[in-house]
Amino acid sequence: MNERNNTQLERAKAHFYSWRFTESYNILRLYFSRLPFQPEREHAEYIGIFTRVLAELGKSRELEFYMLELERLHRRTPTPLIAFQLAMVYRNLPQPRIKETIALLEKLVSDPSAKEYQIKAKMMLAHCYDWLESDTKHCREIIDSIEDPEERDLKIMLDLWRAKLDRDEGKPKKALLILNSVLDELMLPHDWYLYFSAKILLADLYLGQRNLKAAQAHLVDIRDLLTGRRFRAIEIQVEALEKRAKEAGLNLDSQTRPAPEDLSRASLRRPTEVNLLGL
């Protein structure tokens, strides 16, 4: 890849992490237009950001276009480069094709030639099993098989996965230690995706502990950050979290702690889903 393209892709990444999705899209769309004719390593490197941008902007037709092109390429040349991108697109479709995603990822994580994709592939595989089967044990096996990555954002994402699994396994104190440590490392706007993921996990964790005052504080923080912005994927998670909070007796229109009788009726339903895919 020439230096100019590399500079443009890094600029697209910077736009993405600064919540400027349209600017990021304009750069990435131009670069990905060559994917059907000239697949490159960088396509796989940036596919996570590109599919998230398409999903957040509601460009489902473009996602479907890239799905068809990647399926065609995969039939012709089923390399890890193509398989990883196809899995990412399958997962980010308006109606995700989870079983097809799992089939691609299972091959990737066992393929010695796919080593550079395996950390992200394992995280996405754990996400798929968690969503499809709520299989905490299997997810733990997958996540524990990942060695600490050198890349900062991936390392933080791995910590978030460990906290999520600790929550699901009934170890809230351990999860809280990890999440508070992660939040100390994050800076907005660059870390918005990681920040929202950590905040959603924390709010949900406090709901599970019936600490509604702490849960409400994190929900207020999340809503304040979302004001004036449209994050489709984040909104879906926040709406699910708020629904669970209301079922727990939390008055989201008030800054006061619910009455004691509300706490006794707090919901202990299945925890809120968090999309820890690894971009």
Query: Residue 37: its pLDDT value, please?
Result: 82
pLDDT range class, residue 107, cuts 50, 70, 90: very high
Query: What's the average model confidence in pLDDT over 69-86?
Result: 95
Query: What's the average model confidence in pLDDT over 140-150?
Result: 96
Query: Residue 3: its pLDDT value, please?
Result: 80
- Higher-pLDDT residue of 252, 89: 89
Burial per residue of 43-75, b for 16 or more beta-carbon CB atoms within 10 angstroms, e otherwise: bbbbbbbbbbbbbbeeeeebbeebbebbeebbe
Query: Measured in whole angstroms, how far is the alpha carbon of residue 113 from the centre of its chain?
Result: 25
pLDDT reading at 94 higher than 60: yes
Residue 175 DSSP SS3: helix
pLDDT range class, residue 184, cuts 50, 70, 90: very high
* Mean pLDDT of all residues belonging to the chain: 87
Give the integer Cα–Cα distance in Å for 142 and 158.
11
pLDDT range class, residue 248, cuts 50, 70, 90: confident
Identify whether the C-beta of residue 103 lies closer than 8 Å to the C-beta of residue 261.
no
Give the integer Cα–Cα distance in Å for 62 and 68.
10
Closest CA to 219 of 236, 203, 207, 233: 203
Give the integer Cα–Cα distance in Å for 19 and 242.
23
Identify whether the C-beta of residue 163 lies closer than 8 Å to the C-beta of residue 179.
yes
pLDDT reading at 199 higher than 80: yes
Query: Measured in whole angstroms, how far is the alpha carbon of residue 70 from the centre of its chain?
Result: 22
> How deeply is 274 buried, as exposed, middle or buried, from its count of CB atoms within 10 A (0-12, 13-18, 19+)?
buried
pLDDT reading at 262 higher than 70: no
Identify whether the C-beta of residue 121 lies closer than 8 Å to the C-beta of residue 87.
yes
